[in-house]
Amino acid sequence: MDVEILSRIQFAFTVMFHYIYPPMSIGLAVLLIFMEGMFLKTGNPMFERMTKFWVKIFALTFAMGVATGIVMEFEFGTNWATYSRYVGDVFGSALAAEGIFAFFLESGFLAILLFGWDKVGPKMHFFSTIMVAAGAHLSAVWIVVANSWMQTPTGFHIVGEGMNARAEIIDFWAMVFNPSSIERLSHTIGGAWICGAFLVISVSAYYLLKNRHVELSRSSFKIGLSLAAFASLFQLITGHSSAVQVGEYQPAKMAAYEGHYNTEPGDLYLFGWVFDSEQKVIGIKIPGMLSVLLYMDSSKPVTGLNEFPPEDRPPINLVFQTYHLMVALGMYFIAFIVIGIFLLWRNKLFKTAWFMKLSVASVILPHIANQAGWVSAEVGRQPWIVYNLLRTSDGLSKVVSAENVLFSLILFTLIYALLFVLFLYLLDSKIKHGPEDEHNEPVVEQLVKAQ
């Protein structure tokens, strides 16, 4: 295998593994604000136990996010040096901004969130929780801005020629608010909220099925369901505006999403399979619906893949499948919250065992949706590393050999496999241990007195 494919596999693998954790942290951070806020408002110690339990889970996901996140920042330089030289003037400032505006904020207040319970007052602790959540969201802002610039680059010009050609910034805010930033950021954040919400929903349902921590779990289930409800509907809006924006600025990607070859009114597939050599999709479709989605007009033509030379097209079936998987899961989340809210309204939510079981199992689905969405967005950008500007194959490090990358790829694979197993083991044991029981402490006191 050559350097290009190995470097792409390594980047994809390390970023996908990394992206298991930040969405959980971002979503949980929002829920921690609710939980701790409820504690401050009501003074009910149940909310304190709930917050402390979820802070421990948060700490675990956060540590994994930190450990795997530094890899990403270094990999631009180690594996994509030519890319880094080419875009550093523009892309680098977004990364530096993430460090100075997000990571310092997040790590500083994280210390108080985790260890500061007895060191600061409850209000200051609550403030720290909010700041950690703000830091986590700001970090998403800057990294998604940087990534969106690779999708829809603006605010720069090219200086120099040949080996010395590079992008230079002319308008910083045009770079930050490039055409896809807002849509992609809101869609990413929404995905993270769903991820955190379903984690809380799943664990709460697990306790309810086991008849443990009943009062606490009912309450946390409802908190999780509220965020899931908001976020799922939010994703419908941001997903739609993302699609419109992709249709406008990255037509080849939009065409690949739906396997759309000829420039004509576009159909929307519910599912299907793309036969690229025959330029044909077999599946269930709604005729004209893609044109409606993009232009509110079923007769308006959508740019097809045949407008692009074959070397400028992304791998179509992969983009198609991951995109449709993400959309289908998005629909599932909406169905899930509709049923959940209906059952809650009828006062049957916690007695409906099948729904509780479904809640436990659904925890994995937001992860699949996030990863699938990421694959469709990034593979859909291919063969460009910066859309219409620099090809992925031209962005590699010139001095790094295939053996080098193979060595590091094997290393990451082994380490990440180990970490993933340990992460699941620890998550499982924390969940099995559960929140501190309200009766625990008095019992201990009685024992001490009895002695």
Binders of other proteins in range 96-155 (CB under 8 A): 96-101, 103-105, 107-112, 114-120
92 binds other proteins (CB under 8 A): yes
Q: What angle do CA 192, 334, 375 make, to 5 degrees?
A: 45
Q: Which of 168, 215, 437, 438 binds other proteins (CB under 8 A)?
A: 168
Q: What is the Cα–Cα distance from 175 to 137, expressed in whole angstroms?
A: 19
CB of residue 116 to other proteins, shortest distance in Å: 6
Closest CB to other proteins among 328 and 415? 415
292 belongs to the binding site for other proteins (CB under 8 A): no
Tell me if 408 contacts other proteins by CB under 8 A. yes
Q: Tell me the chain's radius of gyration from C-alpha atoms.
A: 24
Contact 13, 409 (CB under 8 A): yes
Beta strands 166-169 and 156-159 are antiparallel
Q: Which of 9, 93, 341, 360 binds other proteins (CB under 8 A)?
A: 93
**Rule CB under 8 A: is residue 70 a binding residue for other proteins?**
yes
434 binds other proteins (CB under 8 A): no
Q: How many CB atoms lie within 10 A of CB 308?
A: 15
Look at residues 146, 202, 153 and name the one whose alpha carbon lies nearest to residue 355: 202
CB of 196 to other proteins, least distance (A): 19
Minimum distance from CB of 152 to other proteins (Å)?
Answer: 20
Our finding on whether 372 is near other proteins (CB under 8 A) is: no
User: Which of these segments, 323-331, 335-343, 365-373, 424-432, binds other proteins (CB under 8 A)?
Assistant: 424-432
Residues in the chain: 451
Q: Which is nearer to other proteins, 84 or 352 (CB)?
A: 84
The answer to whether 149 and 91 have CB atoms below 8 angstroms apart is yes
Among 95, 138, 209, 318, binds other proteins (CB under 8 A): 95
The string of DSSP codes covering 120-155 is S-HHHHHHHHHHHHHHHHHHHHHHHHHHHHHHS--S
How close are the terminal C-alpha atoms of the chain, in Å? 70
Q: Pick the closer one to other proteins by CB: 364 or 422.
A: 422
Beta carbon of residue 72, minimum distance to other proteins (angstroms, whole number): 10
DSSP code at position 215: H
Which stretch of DSSP H or E encloses residue 173?
A: helix 172-176
Binding part of the chain for other proteins, among 162-170, 179-187, 298-306, 312-320 by CB under 8 A, reads 162-170
Which is closer to other proteins, CB of 328 or CB of 400?
400
